[in-house]
Amino acid sequence: MANIFPKWVNTVPIKVIVALLLIKTAIVLGITYYFSPQYTRVGYAPTQPVAFSHEFHAGTLEIDCRYCHTFVEQSGHSNVPGTNVCMSCHSMVLKDDARLATVRQSYDSGEPIPWVRVHKVPDYVYFNHAVHVNRGISCVECHGKVDEMEVVYHAKQLSMGFCLECHRNPEDYIRPVEEVYNLDWERPTDPGAVKEIEEFVHDWGVNPPQSCSGCHR
């Protein structure tokens, strides 16, 4: 009796299984890699209406963050400065420079500059800047090394897992309050100093909420 199936059919099942496994692996890896804030948010660097360099102002000139973002210690919202803050120097420095034309125009007319917001948590997350910076959580923990950014980009994930990581282990992120605006501060490695820092959590009564209502209302 002649064979109903040719001989190559013998390997078909194993080939189909291998192909399916490969496809499945590719899809799983692809989703893990791309469906993550580490891909969708990190690296977002929109072009701003004025090419303001944090690297120069905060890095080279070492102007304190609060010179411009003045109310971060008092307010839940860290303010973007008005153009009068820009002009308090730029009425003298580069006062006719074309790159600052938008700033001068805004200062004269009162029309705000349409800055593109880089870091934004969803509207159902109620993040409060003041409570974090006043309890030893530095700008750098969420915004990265802004003083080294020519163009500000989204450096951290700002996902819920990212928040909870710190809310569960605040002692790994807390620092002396006077170092909050020093983005170059390095965590000490010797056990004595580490212990001293870990005690801030207890001494300042830091008790980061891990329940839903801590951040969602």
Partner 1 sequence: MRLFLTIYVLVIVATVSILGFRGSLTEKEPVEVFNDMDRQAKYKPQAENSFYANGQNDRLPPKLTVSRGNALEIKDVFSTEFTSSTSSEELVLSGKDANGEFSDYFPYPVDFELMQYGQESYNIFCMTCHGAAGDGNGVTKQYGILATSYHDDRLRDAPDGYIYDVITNGKGLMYGLKDRLSNEQRWAIVLYLRALQRSQSAPLESLSTTEKSELGL
Q: Is 43 near partner 1 (CB under 8 A)?
A: yes
Counting contacts by CB under 8 A, is residue 45 touching partner 1? Answer: yes
CB atoms closer than 10 angstroms to residue 18: 11
| Tokens linked to 96 | 């006719």
The one segment of 89-97, 164-172, 185-193, 207-215 that binds partner 1 by CB under 8 A:
89-97
Residue from 17, 24, 30, 210 that binds partner 1 (CB under 8 A)? 30
Stretch that binds partner 1, among 104-112, 164-172, 187-195, 198-206 (CB under 8 A): 104-112
Q: What gap in Å lies between CA 131 and CA 50, rounded to an integer?
A: 30
What is the spatial distance between Cα 48 and Cα 15, in angstroms, rounded to a whole number?
53
Q: How far is the CB of 103 from partner 1 (least distance, A)?
A: 14
CA distance 185 to 2: 81
- Angle, helices 83-90 vs 101-109, to 10°: value is 120
Nearest approach, Cβ of 100 to partner 1 (angstroms)? Answer: 13
Q: Is 41 in the site for partner 1 (CB under 8 A)?
A: yes
Extract the tokens encoding 137: 């959580």
Burial class (CB in 10 A: 0-12, 13-18, 19+), 48: middle
Selected range binding partner 1 among 57-65, 165-173, 193-201, 203-211, rule: CB under 8 A: 57-65
**∠86-139-143 over CA atoms, to 5°?**
85
**Of the candidates 13, 110, 161, 192, which one interacts with partner 1 according to CB under 8 A?**
110
Q: Which is nearer to partner 1, 151 or 164 (CB)?
A: 151
The residue type found at 209 is P
- How far, in Å, are 64, 80, 161 from residue 118 at the CA level? 20, 12, 19
Query: Which of residues 42, 50, 130, 194 is near partner 1 by CB under 8 A?
Result: 42
**Contact set with partner 1 (CB under 8 A):** 15, 19, 22-23, 26, 30, 33-34, 36-47, 61-64, 66-67, 70, 74-75, 77, 79-80, 82, 84-85, 87-89, 91-93, 110-112, 114, 122-124, 151, 153-154
